[in-house]
Amino acid sequence: MKKLISLFICLALAGSSFAQMSGYSTSQSQGTTLGANETLTADGIALGNAVKLRGYVNYIMHRQDDGSGGFDDDLANDLTYTSGDLDFLFDFSPVTAEIHLGAEYGFEQIFGRYSANSDFHVTFGRQVTTLGFESDEWYNRYAVSSAYVGDASPRNKGSIYHNKHYADGIRLNYNNGMFGFVLGLLDSYGIENDADDLDNGMAIELAASVMFFPGLEARLGFANENDPNDDDDSQQINAWIAWNPNALTLALEYDHFSYSDDSDAWTLMLLGNYQFTDFFGASLRYSHLDNDTGNLESDRITLALLFAITEHFDVNFEYSHTSNDHEDDNELYLQGLIHF
């Protein structure tokens, strides 16, 4: 724990130094978003002077082979997935708020924010957890599926499509453009259990981010979750670094999970994305999962072809191959996504 605190302090000092040297501010688009008031800068349809609306309609067709090398018609292996989302963003500065209505989760997020100044904010309500490179929003991702799926997935009930969760609580946020920091007290974190399964639980999250220069960002995060039904806590450590020089994006992510039953799991992800034109981009991703529970281990390789048909309509195709201790899985995804 002392080493973690020392790393956070180093990130904080580095971020402050870079900010002072460069004069970086939250108005610059290439700064870190951790701890920032993104309500003010978000795109959307204006519904008056103080309210914006954004959202999406998402459809996914998924086919998975039966382990024998060919795709079959078994409904257990083939599925379609439809979801939608409407986000209302309110700006009554220094008070802002967001309400995210999703077809899958109902109130995905509903939180208020008070900004003491342009850098420091307090948020309270139902919010998405901060740890992890992958976005919880469909229109802001590099592939259709999550990197961490399969039998060796470190989360017992993690979503097949993303590994972030929504939790109720309060969060302190700081962002000066070059450096971001959050400290949250939440009811759960979904490390070992589904985020909605814990009653009277408590979780702490701590994350720091440094934008060394526009395009190169590193983040380090820690979460501790208390399960009232268990004597021991569960922890997650997440670290990632991403480099985005123009059309190229490269990312490296590492997670370590410690569970209340003294078992451990870890994950590793390597991602490369290149936007060839405004119309076409492609992602190549490798992820490794290693879970002590059941001694499960898997490797996953994903190729995603991303097509922006119009500014608000995307068609994405993905092929993923997963090798684990039991069998090899081949998956095909076809996604249609309208976002506004």
pLDDT digits (tens, 9 = 90+) for 39-61: 988 888 999 889 999 999 999 99
Predicted local distance difference test score (pLDDT) of residue 23: 35
When pLDDT is averaged across residues 143-159 and rounded to a whole number, the result is 67
Alpha-carbon separation of residue 243 from 30, 212, 247, 270, 272 (angstroms): 11, 10, 11, 12, 10
Q: What is the pLDDT of residue 118?
A: 92
pLDDT of res. 136: 86
As a CATH number, domain 2-339 is 2.40.160.10
Length of the chain: 340
| From 16-20, 51-55, 82-86, 330-334, the region with the lowest mean pLDDT | 16-20
Measured between alpha carbons, how far is 42 from 289 in angstroms, rounded to an integer? 34
pLDDT at 163 over 60: yes
**What is the amino acid identity at position 158?**
G
Instruction: Name the one residue in this structure whose structure tokens are 């993303």.
Output: 162
Q: How many beta carbons lie within 10 A of that of residue 252, not counting itself?
A: 15
Average pLDDT over residues 67-79: 49
What gap in Å lies between CA 260 and CA 249, rounded to an integer? Answer: 36
- The beta-strand segments (E) located in 68-192 are 78-92, 95-102, 106-115, 120-128, 166-175, 179-186
Supply the Cα-derived Rg of the chain in whole angstroms: 20
Lowest mean pLDDT among 153-162, 252-261, 294-303: 153-162
259: phi then psi, degrees, rounded to nearest 5? -105, 165
The continuous run of DSSP H or E covering 22 comes out as helix 2-22
Would you list the domain boundaries of the chain? 2-339
Write the pLDDT tens digit of every residue in 179-201: 999 999 999 887 765 545 545 67
Using pLDDT thresholds of 50, 70 and 90, give the confidence band for residue 80: confident
Rounded CA gap, 171 and 121, in Å?
Answer: 8
Q: Are 217 and 199 in contact (CB under 8 A)?
A: no
- Measured in Å, how far apart are the chain's first and last C-alpha atoms? 43
Facing residues of 122 across strands? 114, 172
What is the pLDDT, as a whole number, of residue 207? 98
Question: Residue 256: helix, strand or coil by DSSP?
Answer: strand
Peptide bond into 94 cis (omega under 30): yes
Nearest in space to 35 (alpha carbons), one of 127, 110, 104, 108: 127
Residue 298: per-residue pLDDT: 87
Residue 219, pLDDT above cutoff 50: yes
Q: Give me the pLDDT at residue 220, please.
A: 98
CA of residue 71 relative to chain centroid, distance: 30
Q: Six-digit token pair at 277?
A: 């034109």
Q: Are 113 and 126 in contact (CB under 8 A)?
A: no
Q: Which of 228, 249, 248, 252 is nearest to 240 (CA)?
A: 252
Amino acid identity at 123: T
pLDDT at 275 over 60: yes
Sheet strands (E) in 131-231: 166-175, 179-186, 202-213, 216-226
158 pLDDT band (50/70/90 cuts)?
A: very low
Contact partners, residue 307, CB within 8 Å, separation at least 6: 279, 280, 314, 315, 316, 317
Mean pLDDT of 146-160: 60
